[in-house]
Chain A
Amino acid sequence: MSEARADILGRVRRAQRSKLQQHEILEALTELGVAPPAPRDAEDILESFKLRLKLNHASLEACATRAEAVQLISHYVYQRCRTRKVVTGYDPRLAAMPWRDGGVLVRFDAATAEDPLSISYAKLAIAESGSLILFSNRSNPAANNWLVQDHIILLDQQDLVADFEQAWEKIREHQIETGSPRGISFISGPSSTADIKGHLVFGAHGPQRLHIIFIGPEALPP
């Protein structure tokens, strides 16, 4: 359909108002800047993030180390699903966790429809919206985010940023280091729908529950 392409772009060129050169376009864009800063629910980004998660109907636990996270996961998984089996991607951080200490049996793979629960490790998180950022690649196959009933996401305190703009800066850095993933997802709550007369129901197609485990000293209650 190259004819259609030439036709459409030709019509666009004739119709559009500006006839700028590339560098002029980019200069004009830079001049427009980015959006004014987003409001935050609290002064502190961690507080803000926690509050947002709650409003987004996600649950949150916190601990100081990954070893402790394993214990929390072990407990959560057994309570929820009466199982010890979980699926995760090949995230080196996940691979290095002492799963056996918690009696958790980990399969490193993409989730299937039979997996009730998956664990992901967030690249970043955003306080503004209570979002966890996951890359869809080997370290976290996309199916792991959406095929399961329960989704657990781990987050390191240092990866929490204030807003979308900061998140994109970090995402660009990550992409330079580890390559550009097929998908970048901001996950901000369990799957939900209000399509039936406005009633909010969880577990529309994806996870019914989203559980966040926050790892960092400041996360602990004093």
Chain B
Amino acid sequence: MKQDSLQFLNKAHDHMARPELRQHMDRLGVTLPLAREQAIAQLGNFEQLREHVKNIKNHTLENLDYYLTRYEEQVIQRGGKVHWARNADEFNGIVLDICKKHDAQRVGKGKSMVTEETDLTAHLQHHGLEVTETDLGEYIIQLAEEPPSHIVSPAFHKSVNDIRELFLEKHDLGERELADPDSLVQEARQILRAKFLAADVGIIGANALIAEDGRSMLVTNEGNGDLLSTLPKVHIVCATIDKVLPRPEDATALLRLLVRSATAAVMSAYTSFYCGPRGEVDLDGPEEFHVVLLDNRRSDILGSQYEEMLRCMRCGACLNHCPIYIGAGGHAYGWVYPGPMGSVLTPLLTGLEQSHTLPNACTACGRCAEVCPAAIPLPDLLRDLRAEERERGLSPLHWRLGLKLHAWLARLPRLYQVLTGLIVRLLHLCGRRRGALRSLLLSNGWTQVRDFPAPQGKTFKQQWKQRQREQSRE
């Protein structure tokens, strides 16, 4: 996907300039955390479960080659094929080759962040294939020719009216009302039903790959992924190498956390575990079954200080709980993954040069880490990325110098006290009457939008010394 993560501030500005959108996001930023909180409270053993899933995930990552190989063996045994892709180009090439081999014309796609990462749809379309996104949210943004703004609800930012106008424009179905979500969903069902039936190839993502039996776990509420796994003659599962888990029990332990964290529900409508093409005794199912595994720098993340990020299960809870995501909107992040998880993952997958603004979109408030079902210390990873940004000279020079100066001065307590004493005195004199300053040299960012509260007068240390002197004199 085309990336413009460095435009974060401009795009956030555009987002915030749209009051309706802003209001809509603000509401979600309140309702989604509330709903999740209730679901987690009902679960009762969130901390225990998340610790367990974390340990399982860590164990799997520590022995990843074993579990990947085991998974591959199982898929082959069930008559499927596993393909390995080092990067987006290889990945797209493999999928295109499979489609070409079957003379496919039409492709139905389920929701898959991996394919967003490689921009698979554009690649297939470029080679003449008709590709239809079948997850309703993905379908809406495909019609709107926009990238997703949320990893769970890609059309998070679209209002009912936006979608209505889009359908009226893009679906040639004559005059109709389409005033409510029900009629919009019915229309989409009708249009997409035809796509499912006509698709030659079904491409879906995976929420987990299970080494024990070669199955992949697919979690949806709509059932689109299941239709794509069943009706087309070729079934392709797209996943990354970090998605593997040892046993089916591990996948459903993760599921308990995933669904509650993502939608506050206890269970998704459909959770399916597929592997392999139709057998001799089956009445339906694909003739061929493929898995395409993407690395795309994940083997670099493995074993690095950012390894914990590979536990991410893409639930979106960190987005819903991040006031910066809610404020800036998903598109501001300029690539596939927004919010706190995106601010870590985007630099790791695309390079810090392309995205070093993102790790700064954080107040270290810690709410994301608190809710993260994979217990990923997101603020710590973001801080480490800021350290890299700094080391590589990507952060603004005046920041680096300013903070260096501060650190130097803070190590010289006497000089620090004299200098700060003088500055404080000056600020106090300027601001004492009003109590606050409207503008201040070198602190534009602060005083653009707020006053700078003036100091009370002398510093505490000056007053304390004075007091000690007086006491010793007494």
Asked if the two chains touch in their complex, CB atoms less than 8 Å apart, one says yes
A interface with B by C-beta (< 8 Å): 1, 4-5, 7-9, 11-18, 20, 22, 25, 28-29, 32-36, 38-39, 52, 55-56, 89-90, 109-110, 113, 128-131, 136-138, 141-143, 145-147, 164-165, 167-168, 171, 180, 182-199, 201, 203-207
* Residue from B56, B68, B134, B227 in contact with A12 in the complex, judged by beta carbons closer than 8 Å: B68
B249 near A32 with CB under 8 A, answer no
Q: A110 contacts which chain B residues (CB < 8 A)?
A: 283-284
* Residue from A131, A184, A201 in contact with B181 in the complex, judged by beta carbons closer than 8 Å: A201
Bound-state CA distance A40–B158 (Å) is 36
A1 near B90 with CB under 8 A, answer yes
A25 near B189 with CB under 8 A, answer no
* Residue from B86, B154, B229, B273 in contact with A7 in the complex, judged by beta carbons closer than 8 Å: B86
> Looking across the interface, which residue of chain B has its beta carbon closest to that of A142?
B230
How distant is A159 from chain B, measured CB to nearest CB, in Å?
18
Given A25-B63, A183-B229, A199-B181, check contact A12 B189 (CB 8 Å).
no
Q: B197 contacts which chain A residues (CB < 8 A)?
A: 113
Bound-state CA distance A66–B42 (Å) is 36
* Residue from B65, B85, B221 in contact with A9 in the complex, judged by beta carbons closer than 8 Å: B65
Q: B252 contacts which chain A residues (CB < 8 A)?
A: 35, 164-165, 167-168
Q: A28 contacts which chain B residues (CB < 8 A)?
A: 59, 63
How distant is B460 from chain A, measured CB to nearest CB, in Å?
48
Q: Knowing that A12-B65, A35-B49, A136-B230 are A-B contacts, what are 20 other residue pairs whose CB atoms are under 8 Å apart, sorted by A's residue number? A: A5-B84, A7-B86, A33-B52, A34-B253, A35-B253, A39-B45, A55-B266, A110-B283, A129-B267, A137-B282, A142-B226, A143-B284, A145-B223, A167-B252, A186-B272, A188-B269, A192-B221, A196-B184, A199-B180, A205-B227
Q: How large is the interface on B (under 10, 10 to 19, 20 to 34, 35 or more residues)?
A: 35 or more
Contact with A along B254-285 (1 / 0, CB 8 A): 01100000010011111111111111011111
A141 near B282 with CB under 8 A, answer yes
B275 near A182 with CB under 8 A, answer yes
> Looking across the interface, which residue of chain B has its beta carbon closest to that of A145?
B226
How distant is B352 from chain A, measured CB to nearest CB, in Å?
19
Bound-state CA distance A145–B64 (Å) is 35
B69 part of interface (Cβ distance < 8 Å):
yes
* Residue from B227, B299, B304 in contact with A206 in the complex, judged by beta carbons closer than 8 Å: B227
Bound-state CA distance A180–B252 (Å) is 19
Given A183-B273, A204-B223, check contact A8 B86 (CB 8 Å).
yes
B302 near A35 with CB under 8 A, answer no
Residues in B27-68 with C-beta less than 8 Å from chain A = 28, 31, 42-45, 48-49, 52-53, 55-56, 59, 61-66, 68
Bound-state CA distance A113–B103 (Å) is 24
Q: List the one stretch of B135-143, B325-333, B375-383 in contact with chain A.
A: B135-143
How distant is A40 from chain B, measured CB to nearest CB, in Å?
10
B62 near A204 with CB under 8 A, answer no
B85 near A206 with CB under 8 A, answer no
Contact with A along B106-145 (1 / 0, CB 8 A): 0000000000000000000000000000111100100000
Bound-state CA distance A198–B159 (Å) is 10
B236 part of interface (Cβ distance < 8 Å):
no
Given A8-B241, A188-B271, A192-B269, check contact A1 B83 (CB 8 Å).
yes
